Structure 1
Amino acid sequence: MSGHSKWNNIKRKKEKTDGAKAKVFTKIGRELAVAVKEGGGPDPASNSKLKDCIAKAKAANVPNDNIERIIKKAAGDGDDTKYENIVYEGYGPNGVAVIVEALSDNRNRTAADVRHSFDKFGGNLGTTGCVSFMFEQKGVLVIEREDHDEDKVMEDALEAGAADFQADEDVLEIYTEPDDFSGVLSDLTDKGYEFETAEVQMVPSTYVKLPEDKEASMQKLLDALEDNDDVQNVWHNWEAPETDDEE
């Protein structure tokens, strides 16, 4: 099986940069609305994109009432905002690979803001394809390790069609091919599993460490990108140092 994803390490960093839950909820809400409009309507049974977004929302603890309200509003005619999916690629300090996924109603504004963040914190925005070859799209489902038997989870995951399974001290990580994500998620949900995260991610093939004097700039770059309302996801291959302020 493949090497460890460093998910736990990166996730902790991401949680810090996400900050307030309200901002996370807002971003996922936008993603849900776009899934309804572009994915084929408000029924997750026939809209796999929406089904995946709902799973991501629930893993992020978005209340069911919020999810239903967003879907209902998006299915009506009350919101005419047109969002565009945009992907930016660039480099952080010392060449760390960064992919930024945005949903924007103003391409020029978003591009300028993203470029400014890269420039301000020692990185630079690149061209399409400059770093994406270093990443692979995978479904990622993460379960807290406590109260779970590792062998049983692995058996259930592989039986459901997962491509890979990893374990560390805190979490159990399940990987799928992107097209298999919904099926594996549905199967494991039916078995009663709950997830810390459940989404299709861009997983780097290799990770890089930074000199200590560059770590603060890299973290500030991630913070600035995550704080941008148009930015949905930021993927990178920085192997951030472990911190002592874990839960």
Structure 2
Amino acid sequence: MSGHSKWSTIKRKKAKIDAQRGKIFTKISKEIIIAARNGGPDPAGNMRLKAAIEKAKAANIPNENIQRAIQKGAGGGEGTQFEEFTYEGYGPGGAAILLYVATDNRNRTAGEVRHILSKHGGNLGESGCVSWLFKEKGIIIIDRQETGISEDDIMLLAVEAGAEDVKVEEDSFEVISAPEDFANVKTAFIEQGIPVADAEIAMVPQTTVKLQGEEAEKMVRMIDLLEDNDDVQAVYTNFELAD
């Protein structure tokens, strides 16, 4: 979700993870199963699986749970037949919404998503209606308070590692890269002893819509409910909270 700095948003999500750990476990396990099913059980040759395992470890999912999900996906057994697709639509104020979904019941998920959007001033759109507003990028978050590193040093390291841009926020640095350079950029920071607060390949909006008042409240509530849905793996939007 956009609005304030991305690190502030991530810290908010992490707090929600602590409060809803079981739901998060389910979503990440589903991602591991799908990744292992599609690309094999070896994370060295399956970047999607490697990223899912890193996410699982960051959420403190036990290793035995991770291995069980990998085996389930690689074995192709019961519970691995998830269907992946995207939903596109609009929220209050015309803000764009892009959802990544993995489900074993498309009709159930469609009904639940449609209900959440319509109840909060949004609606589903046709395929392609908002996806063109987003580009896939690698995003690495550096917590400024934790590292104490200077803006110049971050900029220099990011450029040398192959990053495209660095956004400087009050509480964080947001290092942006092409998806294919993401792993190298992340490794460069880790090798320099710089803690990475969060790292992911995400869909980044190219333009934003500012919301305030009731529209902003409805949008925040809508995003919360979509993220809470067991079948919604990721939520991307181009809204910002107006000053």
Instruction: Establish whether TM, by shorter chain, passes 0.5.
Output: yes
Q: Secondary structure at the match of 2:239?
A: coil
Structure 2 counterpart of 1:11, which letter? I
Q: Report Cα offsets for 1:57-81 as digits up to 9, x if no partner.
A: 3444445454344324433455443
Q: Report Cα offsets for 1:18-63 as digits up to 9, x if no partner.
A: 5523222221121111111112x12111112212222333444445
How do residues 3-14 of structure 1 correspond to structure 2 at under 5 angstroms?
6-12=5-11, 14=13
Q: Confirm whether residue 88 of structure 1 aligns to residue 87 of structure 2.
A: yes
1:163 matched to which residue of 2?
A: 164
User: 2: distance between equivalents of 1:222 and 1:16?
Assistant: 15
1:67 matched to which residue of 2?
A: 66
Q: Report Cα offsets for 1:95-151 as digits up to 9, x if no partner.
A: 111111111111111111111111111101111111112111101111211224133
Cα RMSD of the aligned pairs, angstroms, is 2.5
Q: Confirm whether residue 37 of structure 1 aligns to residue 37 of structure 2.
A: yes
How do residues 142-221 of structure 1 correspond to structure 2 at under 5 angstroms?
142-145=141-144, 146-150=146-150, 151-221=152-222
Structure 1 counterpart of 2:143, which letter? E
Q: Secondary structure at the match of 2:241?
A: coil
The TM-score, its normalising length taken from structure 1, stands at 0.84
Structure 1 counterpart of 2:233, which letter? Q
After superposition, the Cα gap between the structure-2 partners of 1:12 and 1:206, relative to the gap in structure 1 and judged at 3 Å, is farther
The answer on whether the counterparts of 2:147 and 2:195 sit within 8 Å (CA) in structure 1 is no
User: 1: distance between equivalents of 2:35 and 2:178?
Assistant: 20
2:137 matched to which residue of 1?
A: 138
The TM-score, its normalising length taken from structure 2, stands at 0.86
After superposition, the Cα gap between the structure-2 partners of 1:57 and 1:123, relative to the gap in structure 1 and judged at 3 Å, is same
Q: Secondary structure at the match of 1:99?
A: strand
Residue range with higher mean Cα deviation, 203-212 or 7-16:
7-16
Structure 1 counterpart of 2:189, which letter? L
After superposition, the Cα gap between the structure-2 partners of 1:115 and 1:129, relative to the gap in structure 1 and judged at 3 Å, is same
Alpha-carbon deviation of 1:198? 1.3
The answer on whether the counterparts of 1:32 and 1:54 sit within 8 Å (CA) in structure 2 is yes
Q: Secondary structure at the match of 1:209?
A: strand
The answer on whether the counterparts of 2:114 and 2:123 sit within 8 Å (CA) in structure 1 is yes
Structure 2 counterpart of 1:24, which letter? I
User: 2: distance between equivalents of 1:154 and 1:181?
Assistant: 16
User: 1: distance between equivalents of 2:209 and 2:161?
Assistant: 33
Q: Report the structure, 1 or 2, having the larger helix content.
A: 2
Q: Secondary structure at the match of 1:89?
A: strand
1:23 matched to which residue of 2?
A: 23
The answer on whether the counterparts of 2:142 and 2:173 sit within 8 Å (CA) in structure 1 is yes
Q: Secondary structure at the match of 1:169?
A: coil
1:239 matched to which residue of 2?
A: 240
Structure 2 counterpart of 1:86, which letter? F
Mark the runs of 5 or more structure 2 residues left unpaired by the alignment: none
Mark the runs of 5 or more structure 1 residues left unpaired by the alignment: 243-247
Q: Secondary structure at the match of 1:239?
A: strand
Structure 2 counterpart of 1:70, which letter? A
Residue range with higher mean Cα deviation, 60-69 or 133-142:
60-69
The answer on whether the counterparts of 1:59 and 1:197 sit within 8 Å (CA) in structure 2 is no
Alpha-carbon deviation of 1:5? 8.7
1:50 matched to which residue of 2?
A: 49
User: 2: distance between equivalents of 1:173 and 1:28?
Assistant: 24
Structure 2 counterpart of 1:44, which letter? P
User: 1: distance between equivalents of 2:54 and 2:238?
Assistant: 25
